[in-house]
Structure 1
Amino acid sequence: MFFLLSKLLVIFIYPITWIVFAFLLAIYCKNKKLQRRFLLTGFFLLLFFSLPFFQNSYARLWDITTKPDNKQYGAAIVLGGYGSEDRNGGGYFNGASDRFIQGTRLKISGKVKYLVFSGGNANVLLPKSFIESSWTAEVLKDFKVEPKDVLIEKESRNTLENALFTQRLLKANNVPPPYLLVTSAFHMRRSLLTFEKAGVEVIPYSCNYIAGHERLSIDSFLPNAETLSKWEKYIKELIGYIVYYLK
């Protein structure tokens, strides 16, 4: 139920939903004073959430950018979300592919003994159509990574299940700590909280930075449609963090 509700209600936390709602109220409201207020609210929200300056400022506060030292680790736990299903039922790398790149890089460079890929299928309508971590195992063959050094967790659908099922997998295979947690920078804070509550001590290895790393420029103060989509990820993470903390 928790998983299904999170998928259905997520649309209501997106800034574009708030903006459209404010403009619709302005259009259909009969009271002139309220109409102006709704219109100004819509313009303010559109301006705020489309300016990279505000988004980058928030990202610098939210993102966890800690990097580990050069010692060897027991495993790199790579969270899913970097692979998507194509129209033929196969897989392809999406915008979060840096999770896979950095995890594989850690293994190839000898900094971790095991690679742990955690991710099943989060598709509500077709839950068994594409298993991300199973697809990953096939892709890894092209990188000459030994199958014995790869552990696959293919049941999880969200971050909470990532943590719970990975904890069992590590224990079942007697993989000793310390562990590196590899995920997108915007997703790291919630992931750390979730793994901590699941009893898995991890060290953050952030990647896939989508905001907060750009230098200040004139473009930072020009509206950008892409910034709206970035806010969606950060707001989702903030609400998810609060829910996971209370849950």
Structure 2
Amino acid sequence: MPVLFLLSKILDFVLLPTVWLLALLLAALLARQPQRKQRLLIAIAALLLLGTNPALVNELLLAWEKPPVPLASLPRHADAAVLLTGITQVAKSPHDRVYLGPGADRFTNALWLYRAGRVRYIIVSGGSGAVLAKAHTEAADLGTLLRLAGVPARAILLEERSRNTRENALFTKQVLDTRPDIKSLVLVTSAFHQRRALGCFHKVGLNPVSFPAGFRTTDRSITPDYWLVPSPAALENLSLLLHELAGWLTYKLLGYS
């Protein structure tokens, strides 16, 4: 298994704010000096206060997410939508159905593009991002859902080997090398993931039109709950943002995007 793949999984764990909170809490419990314990408790309180503030985290995500693309600005007819996976739970049993998770708008948006006649094909790109191999791939699962939704098998192309965004781009390019009839692309992935994905596709010589989906942000609000009421979802979104920022920076440093 590639070292980079394992390191990425370790980095995901290290960047979790909940891991920081646990580490600070353990340090506070083990601290012998009262002043050190007090500083650690203040750090815990500050992290909780900032990390669970919905307005602050939402503003950070709004600055990072690619904004929605007006439908009128899309090409009238593109050859294919590239649907990136990362939205199903391949480890969930029984394996007689498809379990969709957060970001399922990727799927519904790609399906909409096809059913509205905006694209002729849907390329589903993604094997499994799990450390251990799974019995089936995310691409196969989403291909099943697309067929159940009325998309004919001839209009679905599956790329089932990729385990990360760089491989999404590399292996999609290989699929397209065998299909010279497919030239124009619409890239469908989550809004927070679009920057890294576009960079990877550009790097391999593909220039898809961006079509963000699966937004984690909300519109700004002036209500007290938006500004003052702590939210566990905010902490989850902060974890997601840190993960994506680290991935984007790593890809830049490695020359993947």
Query: Which TM-score tier does this pair reach, normalised by the shorter chain?
Result: over 0.9
Look up the match of 2:78: 73
Distance 2:42 2:142 in 1: 48
CA RMSD of aligned residues (A): 1.5
Q: State the distance in 1 between where 2:212 and 2:223 align.
A: 25
Matched, 1:15 2:23: no
| Mapped partners of 1:192, 1:107: distance in 2 | 21
Amino acid corresponding to residue 156 of structure 1 in structure 2: S
1:183 aligned onto 2:189? yes
Q: Is 1:84–2:89 an aligned residue pair?
A: yes
Contact 2:103–2:215 (8 Å) recurs in 1: no
Contact kept? 2:86, 2:129, Cα under 8 Å: no
1:133-148 aligned at under 5 Å gives the runs 133-148=139-154
Query: Structure 2: 5+ residue runs without aligned partners?
Result: none
Shift of 1:162: 0.6
Partner of 2:138: 132
For 2:74 and 2:95, the matched residues in 1 are separated by 40
1:1-247 equivalent positions in 2, closer than 5 A: 1-67=3-69, 68-85=73-90, 86-90=92-96, 91-125=98-132, 127-220=133-226, 221-247=228-254
> Counterpart amino acid of 1:17?
V
The alpha carbon displacement at 1:144 in A equals 1.7
In the alignment, the residues of structure 1 paired with residue 181 and residue 220 of structure 2 have an alpha-carbon distance, to the nearest angstrom, of 38
Deviation per CA, 1:49-71: give whole Å up to 9, x if none. Answer: 10001111111110111514352
Tell whether the 8 Å contact from 1:120 to 1:157 is kept in structure 2 after alignment: yes
Q: How many residues align?
A: 246
- Cα offset for 1:179? 1.1
Q: What SS does the aligned partner of 1:83 have? A: coil
TM-score between both structures, scaled by the size of structure 1: 0.94
- C-alpha distance in structure 1 between counterparts of 2:87 and 2:78, whole Å: 23
State the alpha-carbon separation in 2 of the partners of residues 69 and 128 from structure 1. Answer: 36
Q: Any gaps of 5 or more consecutive residues in structure 1? A: none
Query: In the superposition, relative to structure 1, how do residues 216 and 240 fare at CA in structure 2: closer, same or farther (>3 Å)?
Result: farther
**TM-score (ref. length: structure 2):** 0.91
8 A contact 2:68–2:213 mirrored in 1: no
Deviations 1:34-59 (A, max 9, x none): 21111111110111010001111111
